[in-house]
Amino acid sequence: MSINNFFDNLSNKSFDYYTKKDTDYEKDGKIYCGICHKVKVQTLYLQNMAFPAVSPCDCELKKDEEKQRNLKEQENFIKYLSNREICFESFKDKKNEMYNKTFENSDDDKHLDYCKKWAEDFNENYKSTDSLLLYGDIGVGKSHQATCIANAVLLKNFTVKMTDFAEIEKNQGDIGKRKEYYNSLNDYDLLIIDDLGVERNSEYMQEIVFYVINKRINSNKPFIITTNLEITYILNCDDIGKKRIYDRLIGACEPLEFRGKSKRFANRIKNKQ
Ligand SMILES: [Zn+2]
């Protein structure tokens, strides 16, 4: 019996789910896939009426999975591009520069392996990840490493925000909506606050810094702080307003010391030669 005859013998002829392939063949009243040899169409009888029962063969299932996977990949990539844009939105015309700061593009740095591992370990259980305090000399790569972490974590499709307190103050909006704005920073899976300590030195600013850091710690989500402040200053600060901020930080962060000559300065000299 040919495939056409097979269908002729069935009372229900709407084979919406079956597309005939040249390799398909008929055997014992069923249609088989010529590649995986699974049944694609068979006849079911109900009250003496014959119905075609169409089911996908293994090849079709695999193709479906592949299609779904491709769609998911595409969706994730679009999500990643949008997350990356949001992460570095305050860097405006320097965004591309930020996008290019990756571990792969980095010079061998004392902390590269540690930061890379930290980013690699960032997964669904990220809430148990230790936060980081990157401190030490100016221009030795603290912000650079933090940016590399941001890019690596973004690639895993997590949301990241990189900002600083001057930017937070600038974006905080109307007085009635400020807490809402500060709290919204905890929507991100990872929050990176660059250059703690360079913000205006005022009681008002300290309130913002404390509020944001305290809320972040209470949200149980990881964060990274970079600062040029010395650890001895952080540990021994007797300014009450600052001390309560630093105490929270010390309790929540893994400290990572950056030492050396300023790379930025060295690069500038190199470029002049
Ligand atoms: Zn097949």
Domain locations along the chain: 1-87, 92-272
Of 245, 246, 220, whose CA–CA distance to 131 is shortest?
A: 220
Q: 59 alpha carbon to ligand 1 midpoint, in Å?
A: 4
Question: What DSSP string describes 19-75?
Answer: ---TT-EEETTEEE-TTT--EEEEEEEETTEEEEEE---HHHHHHHHHHHHHHHHHH
Q: Helix, strand or coil for residue 196? A: strand
pLDDT under 50: residue ranges of the chain = 1, 11-12, 14
Q: 184 alpha carbon to ligand 1 midpoint, in Å?
A: 50
At residue 263, the pLDDT reads: 63
At residue 181, the pLDDT reads: 94
Q: 140 alpha carbon to ligand 1 midpoint, in Å?
A: 59
The set of residues, in sequence order, having a beta carbon less than 8 Å from that of 62 and lying 6+ positions away, is: none
The CATH architecture one would assign to domain 92-272 is 3-Layer(aba) Sandwich (3.40)
Q: Helix, strand or coil for residue 248? A: helix
Q: 10 alpha carbon to ligand 1 midpoint, in Å?
A: 23
Q: 54 alpha carbon to ligand 1 midpoint, in Å?
A: 13
At residue 11, the pLDDT reads: 45
The secondary structure of residue 227, as a DSSP letter, is E
Q: 108 alpha carbon to ligand 1 midpoint, in Å?
A: 51
Tokens of 154: 């973004």
Q: 61 alpha carbon to ligand 1 midpoint, in Å?
A: 8
Q: Helix, strand or coil for residue 225? A: strand
At residue 16, the pLDDT reads: 63
Helix or strand (DSSP H, E) at 10: none
* pLDDT tens digit sequence for 179-235: 999 999 999 999 999 999 888 888 889 999 999 999 999 999 999 999 999 999 999
pTM: 0.80
* pLDDT tens digit sequence for 40-53: 999 888 777 877 88
Average pLDDT, the chain: 88
Q: What distance in Å separates the CA atoms of residue 154 and residue 96, rounded to the nearest whole number? A: 15
